[in-house]
A and B are shown apart, each in its own frame.
Chain A
Amino acid sequence: MRRSRSEGAKSFLGQAVARYDVDELDDLGKRSKREDYVEVKRPDGTVAKARGERTFYGAFEGGFSAGYWGTVGSKEGWEPASFSSSRSKRHAEAALQVEDFMDEEDLRDHRSSRKTIAARSEFENSQGQAPNSSAGLPNGLPRHLEAELFAGDNRLGTRLLRASSLVSPLEALSPEPVPTSSSAKTKKSYGCAPPPPGYTPAKTLVDEVGLEWPQQPGKRLAATLTGPQVASSSALEAELERPWRSKNDLHGIGYTLGSRFCSANSVPNSRRLYMSSARGKNLAAKQGIGYAQFGTGVLDQDDYDAWEEVYDHETDKHAHYHPSLRDEEAEEEQSRAALSDLPVPSVPKIGEVPGFVQAQGPDKESHDLRHWHPPPVPRGYKGVHLIEVSPLQEAQEGSQEHRKLLEFREKHGQQRLLDPQYRAELLGEQSRTSKSSAKVESSGDGEHEAQSLPTEPLSPEVSVQRSTAPLWQVPDQHKQNLLNALGRHFVMGQTQDMDGAAARHEPFKNDPSKQQRYSKFCRAMEGKAAISEALKDLGHPTQVERDLELAEFGRVYRSFRQQHPEADIVKALEEKATPQPAQILQRTVTPWTPDKLLCRRWGVPEPKPSGFSDHAPPAAQQKQRKYNDQVKAKDKAKPANTSTALPAGSGQSTQNADPVLHADVAPSGEITRPPTSLFASIFGDADE
């Protein structure tokens, strides 16, 4: 409706001033830089084309962004929603103002007589210079004292003091006008709060001061400052440092009550406009904000405190409004009381400043203000109960294996869990370690004993040390032994045969002799070799070991067959025996057809599709060979003719005999390149 001054100041401070006005740009023939491209923002805030490229942003334009950004507008896709018009609820949500109920005449009167609460000019200029900066403080406080008091001090209390003492010089010089009658109202001053109703100023220093003590609180302070009993400036400063009761609202100095929340209670009763008689009903039905009835504004509910819902403190209830903003009746009463009090001036103590009550103990309210109550939930809000379970928690609760592991850990401790042996046991794998190692030990084989030694815990410390180290830090030999002990074979990731079709079956790759024995075993199993051959060279002196290894081979073979019943295991074993060395530099030659225009521009003849060249495919080379043979045969047949014709000196006969221009066929029958001059004459290319 109207633009406040603060808004103007904000826009002035916040926006950079352009060199030209936007409207002038067209006249000057310039375009602002922002118009050069449109930054397309996606709904999630990212910029689709940060560099300002052209964006085909639409569902049916086939552009880059024609995905969900262009269609349904969210990552998750289409979310069905029903549209409901707010037209019928419009009157309920409208925040009507007094002016909405006035006709033109009333409006004019209202505007002319309206006493809008606004800050005085002194308060607006709280950051700037005082209006009477040259004259010092109004009641004659010396300039140097003022400077000493307030220089560089920008705390709220100091600002408050400074603001409260800033009255216009004329006012300051002339004595306080005594109102002759109650009809002549004093000019309202909205500034620092007057003392609370129960406050009685101390009167100990009345005689010494000997001054008329005006009711204006700001002047009272000024008078205090100018009095002869004013202590030294440092003492006063110390007084000013005393803990005052903090502000209990959120408004700064110069706050105008233009906010729609505050307008309900701050307007005096006599100035309120009632459009309906439903006021009492509203008062009775106070539990909700009674906007629902047509023509009933918030102004009708005089007992309704808009702030009450927001901050339901008992202490804060009335403190959000400035104490000076009371009804006029109360003001009149107060002014009358002031008149009656006038002959008995009162001067506060040094330690007190009128208008303020000294705090009892630490500032409790300021402490409380840190914990504002949350704002009320909007009407019509339906809460959604969200169950937020972290993935970790979910994993812990949901996974059976994890629970099992946790149980195991509780039972046996962390060290046991990390031991692969126990882990295998936990996971339900039958450990063959103990059996095999026991057998090995019993057999007393030196080599295998050495291999199985690391897995056999010599002492608890050693086993813990070895088993807790991660597998990838364990040396290869140790790793192999570990895996052997676990009854598994180690398959490297790169050569892992996942489907059996890769022609790689090397379960014992790390032990070539064992792999060889295994391949023999497989051949025997497939019926490609005699069983005796497989059993012949096992390299184990003891029967126990042979049996063990054969059992292992049988297990591996059986598992491979179960997984890949169709795989040709013998072929897989054989093929692996002859690995192909990887070629680093490869050359491939493929036909390529340059464009006709490109050949013309380049100055080269268009290559023939079959490509009579050294690098032509074999079919083309055969064709070329055939062509060469034909040419040779013709040349052999021709010499008689040419020899007879040549002495006659006619070159035309050769041309007639062979229309194909192959003057480059040497007597030996080999094709040579045509002379350079021929190319030069055809293509004009000197380098041929």
Chain B
Amino acid sequence: MAPAEDFQLPGPDPVQTLNGHESGVLAMSWTQNGQYIMTASQDKSVRLWNPHSGKHIKKFAGCHNQEVNDIRIAADNSKFVSCGSDKLIFLWDVTSAQAIRKLTGHDRKVNALAFGPKEDVLLSASHDKTVKIWDLRTRARAPIQTLTDAVDSILCLMTHKDVIITGSVDGGLRHYDLRKGQLVTDQLLQPIGSISVSEDGQCLLVSTLDSSIRLLEREDGSELAAYSGHSNRRVKVRSSLDPSDSFVVSGSEDGMLHFWELVEATPLRRSKAHEAAVLCLAFHEENLVTAAADGTIKVWRPQRAC
């Protein structure tokens, strides 16, 4: 996890600014090839963009009746799933912009989604304190399994190899190990808003709603580093490691973008990125895309001396 020498921080000015969403952008996802991004917004729509050219390509709307909370793109880029506060999950066809499947079963809004390996299963975390695992191979209406261990709303969800990791408002960071058949719960005592995993899969970067980010060892749950300085108390704000695992980047509720050095946890840069809270960000190689609660999306790239 040594910082890569050739990886640089994104430049101070955005390369592209994408305007189109009428309300805050709650989630975003890169396509597998890094050509496009999809964003999910409070304006009930999902949009497809080309961040390199700054073009808006397509709008996917009409299915969700309330804000779209999360989005995941399939590996072949032909389908994607979205979930919203209307308790529904839709599987979309990208080219026809039609929903091809609707998954119902949650009692409250659905906060996060994750694909299983090979995209045979879909996991959805909801405000109804459950994670439901859906079978995408068959047309079964009922979920395969429902995880009911959390005692409060589950805000974030991710899968890594054979482990399902969920973060809940009750402060529980839960690892469901399918191979071992065990559930490991790390109690962080603060609502967990974001989880991301390092490239080597050994560390977890966890944002809690007490304005702190922790780097945790996955195996024993020990805290390796803590990053603070940003503001995150009310909403889900994404934090992430850069692809080379050299620094940590996180949005902030005051519209700033914070960078920390991974190991030393020293702040590298703090810059005003958006006018509203920076809710989500995602790296693809050296391209960083951030999106804010005012609906703007910005693309950042390191400045290279030509």
Which A residues fall within an 8 A CB radius of B? Answer: 51, 584-595, 597-599, 601-609, 611, 613, 615, 687
Contact = CB atoms under 8 A, between A and B. Distances in A.
B117 A592 contact: no
Interface size class of B (residues with CB under 8 A): 20 to 34
A609 B185 CA distance: 19
A591 B133 contact: no
A314 B274 CA distance: 75
Interface string B178-212: 11111111111100000000000000000000000
Nearest to A597: B144
Contact of B184 (A588, A594, A601): A588
Contact of B181 (A51, A586, A603, A608): A608
B228 to A, nearest CB: 15
B180 A607 contact: yes
B223 A585 contact: yes
Contacts of B184: 587-589, 615
A594 B181 contact: yes
Contact of B179 (A588, A597, A604, A609): A604
Interface of B: 66, 116-118, 120-121, 133, 135, 137, 144-145, 149, 161-162, 176-189, 220-223
A597 B118 CA distance: 14
B176 A594 contact: yes
A602 B183 contact: no
Contacts of B221: 585, 587
Given A590-B183, A613-B181, 7 more contacts: A585-B188, A586-B185, A589-B185, A592-B176, A598-B178, A601-B116, A608-B181
Contacts of B117: 602-603
B76 to A, nearest CB: 18
**Most chain B beta-carbon contacts within 10 A, residue among A584, A585, A588:** A585
Contact of A602 (B66, B162, B188): B162
B135 A601 contact: yes
A162 B105 CA distance: 71
18 contacts: A585-B188, A585-B221, A587-B186, A587-B220, A591-B182, A592-B149, A594-B176, A594-B181, A598-B121, A598-B144, A599-B178, A602-B121, A602-B162, A604-B178, A606-B181, A607-B178, A607-B179, A687-B161
A589 B184 CA distance: 4
Contacts of A604: 162, 178-179
B181 A588 contact: no
Contacts of A608: 181
A106 B221 CA distance: 99
A687 B186 CA distance: 26
A221 B176 CA distance: 97
B162 A586 contact: no
Contacts of B185: 586-590
A615 B182 contact: yes
B220 to A, nearest CB: 7
A603 B221 CA distance: 26
Contacts of A594: 145, 176, 178, 181
A64 to B, nearest CB: 10
B144 to A, nearest CB: 5
- Across the A-B interface, the 3 shortest Cβ-Cβ residue pairs: A607-B181, A592-B183, A595-B145
Given A590-B183, A597-B135, A603 B118 contact: yes
Nearest to A685: B117
Contacts of B118: 601, 603
Contact of B189 (A584, A597, A598, A606): A584
Contacts of A615: 180, 182, 184
Contacts of A602: 116-117, 120-121, 162, 178
Nearest to B188: A585
Nearest to B116: A602
Contact of A589 (B120, B121, B182): B182
A592 B150 CA distance: 13
Nearest to A52: B65
Nearest to A607: B181
A617 to B, nearest CB: 10
Contact of B120 (A586, A601, A605, A611): A601
Contacts of A586: 185-187
Nearest to B161: A687
A584 B171 CA distance: 11
A597 to B, nearest CB: 5
A31 to B, nearest CB: 16
A585 B180 CA distance: 23
Contacts of A593: 181
B119 to A, nearest CB: 10
A602 B179 CA distance: 10
Given A602-B117, A603-B117, A611-B180, A595 B144 contact: yes
Contacts of A609: 181
A605 B189 CA distance: 33
B186 A613 contact: no
Contacts of B187: 585-588
A598 B183 CA distance: 15
A590 B116 CA distance: 22
Contacts of B177: 592
A51 B179 CA distance: 42
Contacts of B223: 585
Contacts of A587: 184-187, 220-221
Contacts of A595: 133, 144-145
A601 B144 contact: yes
A593 B145 CA distance: 10
Nearest to A586: B187
A303 to B, nearest CB: 66
A53 to B, nearest CB: 9
A352 B133 CA distance: 92
Contacts of B144: 595, 597-598, 601
A608 B182 CA distance: 11
**Most chain A beta-carbon contacts within 10 A, residue among B145, B181, B183, B220:** B181
Nearest to B85: A51
A556 B188 CA distance: 41
A584 B188 CA distance: 7
Contacts of A613: 180-182
B60 to A, nearest CB: 21
A611 B116 contact: no
**Most chain B beta-carbon contacts within 10 A, residue among A584, A588, A593, A598:** A598
A587 to B, nearest CB: 5
Contacts of A592: 149, 176-177, 181-183
Given A584-B189, A595-B144, A601 B183 contact: no
A437 B66 CA distance: 70
Given A586-B187, A591-B182, A613-B180, A601 B137 contact: yes
A50 to B, nearest CB: 12
A589 B178 contact: no
Contacts of A606: 181
Nearest to A587: B221
B179 A605 contact: yes
A615 B175 CA distance: 13
Nearest to A600: B120
Contacts of A588: 184-185, 187
**Most chain B beta-carbon contacts within 10 A, residue among A588, A592, A597, A607:** A592
**Most chain A beta-carbon contacts within 10 A, residue among B137, B145, B162, B180:** B180
A621 B135 CA distance: 34
Nearest to B146: A595
B57 to A, nearest CB: 30
A595 B178 CA distance: 9
A397 B301 CA distance: 75
**Most chain B beta-carbon contacts within 10 A, residue among A594, A597, A605, A606:** A594
A640 B76 CA distance: 56
A605 B162 CA distance: 11
Given A595-B133, A595-B144, A601-B137, A585 B186 contact: yes
A51 B221 CA distance: 42
A591 B179 CA distance: 11
A575 B185 CA distance: 30
Nearest to B162: A604
